[in-house]
Amino acid sequence: MQLVIITGMSGAGKASAAKVFEDMAYTVVDNLPPPLLPELVEKCLGVGEQPPGQRLAVVADARAGAFFAGFEPALALVRAYGVRPLILFLDASDAVLVQRFKETRRRHPLFDAHGGILGSLRAERALLEGIKETADKVVDTSELTANELRNLLVADFSSAPDKNQGLAITVTSFGFKFGLPLDADLVFDVRFLVNPHYVDELRPLDGRNQLVEEYVMRDPDSGVFLGKLYDLMDFSIPQYIAEGKAYLTVAIGCTGGRHRSVMVAEKLGHFLRAHGYRALVQHRDVHK
């Protein structure tokens, strides 16, 4: 049975994520009080009868109020049934969340207790801190469109993983001047490579263009770095799989996230797919 627990910050896109899981033929339950999760899983397992559902997505978050304290005990009971839940945590920056609440005019679930949206967000982050640290996948939706979020979730959850595909890998390029990706597990800085930004004919292009790739690869350090990066992936990814990690986000950063990081991310994605891994490549800042 596939069980995905969708949780995270209010306003980070959990409702949009739930719709994506519905479209992927998951049975989706929104705003489930965590203490009811074991009973729901037991019903879906269909003990002694035909199982009614083998792909279940549950949204559980701060809206559950006092019932949310039962989140971890509920997961322990679910694991006792032999089901390993995958926790998908959606996050976004406070500035983005405040703007979304202004646009939708929705009320934060902790607003009454903390008197103000910023205080509510701080309290919610404290409430969810432990869950975020142990989540299987953390997605920062601050810069994602609804379609980009859909594509990411479909790539990771549309089919059951098997063999080498047990670890879903996201490779994302970014610009350091726009901040680190919140969901990164591994971060690599490629600002030491030669910068196409200072070449007039290359500046309007990005790292997916062959001319940019050829220019960066003429830097002797590029080939050395890629070789060492590939060696690290060869060594570490099997260890992550053996440890049971389901999702890995590798972030490649340069100054603006347009040239060097994009090229390296594309090459790393190609390398991973050539070795049989599921690898999604995305470029957070390429159009900024």
| 152 and 174 assigned to the same domain | no
140, part of any domain: yes
Its pTM surpasses 0.75: no
Of the candidates 124, 145, 160, which is a domain's last residue?
A: 160
For the chain, state the CA radius of gyration: 21
Q: Which of 282, 6, 8, 84 is nearest to 169 (CA)?
A: 282
Structurally, how many domains does the chain consist of?
A: 2
Question: The tokens of 193 are what?
Answer: 């490579």
DSSP result, the chain: -EEEEEEE-TTSSHHHHHHHHHHTT-EEE-S--GGGHHHHHHHHHTTTS--S-SEEEEE--GGGGGGGGGHHHHHHHHHHTT--PEEEEEE--HHHHHHHHHHH-PPPTTHHHHSSHHHHHHHHHHHHHHHHHH-SEEEE-TT--HHHHHHHHHHHHSS---GGGGSEEEEEEEEGGG---TT-SEEEE-TTS--GGGSTTTTTS-TTSHHHHHHHHTSHHHHHHHHHHHHHHHHHHHHHHHHT--EEEEEEEESSSSSHHHHHHHHHHHHHHHTT-EEEEEESSTT-
pLDDT digits (tens, 9 = 90+) for 202-215: 999 999 999 999 99
| 138 and 264 assigned to the same domain | no
Instruction: Report the distance separating Cα 257 and Cα 151, nearest Å.
Output: 20
Of the candidates 160, 191, 222, which is a domain's last residue?
A: 160
pLDDT digits (tens, 9 = 90+) for 227-240: 999 999 999 999 98
Q: pLDDT tier at 285 (50, 70, 90 boundaries)? A: very high
| 99 and 204 assigned to the same domain | no
pLDDT (mean) for 118-125: 93
- The lowest-confidence range among 19-33, 147-161, 177-191, 250-264 is 147-161
What domain range includes position 20? 2-160
β-sheet with 278-283: strand ranges across:
186-189, 247-254, 168-175, 278-283
Give yes or no for residue 155 having a pLDDT over 90.
no
Q: pLDDT tier at 161 (50, 70, 90 boundaries)? A: very low
Of the candidates 98, 133, 160, which is a domain's last residue?
A: 160
Task: Give the side-chain half-sphere CA count within 13 A for 217.
Answer: 15
Say what the pLDDT of residue 48 is. Answer: 47
| 47 and 154 assigned to the same domain | yes
| 138 and 183 assigned to the same domain | no
| 78 and 182 assigned to the same domain | no
| 34 and 140 assigned to the same domain | yes
Which comes out higher in pLDDT, residue 104 or 230? 230
> Residue 278 pairs with which residues in a beta bridge?
168
| 170 and 256 assigned to the same domain | yes
Give yes or no for residue 123 having a pLDDT over 50.
yes
288, part of any domain: no
Q: pLDDT tier at 162 (50, 70, 90 boundaries)? A: very low
| 234 and 153 assigned to the same domain | no
**Which CATH number does the domain housing residue 34 bear?**
3.40.50.300
Give yes or no for residue 178 having a pLDDT over 80.
yes
| 61 and 180 assigned to the same domain | no
Say what the pLDDT of residue 43 is. Answer: 86
pLDDT (mean) for 107-111: 87
| 96 and 145 assigned to the same domain | yes
**Based on the number of CB atoms within 10 Å of its own CB, is 260 exposed (0-12), middle (13-18) or buried (19 or more)?**
buried
| 224 and 172 assigned to the same domain | yes
Q: Which of 255, 11, 8, 29 is nearest to 118 (CA)?
A: 11
Cα-Cα-Cα-Cα dihedral sign, residues 143, 85, 271, 239: positive
pLDDT digits (tens, 9 = 90+) for 56-69: 999 999 999 999 99
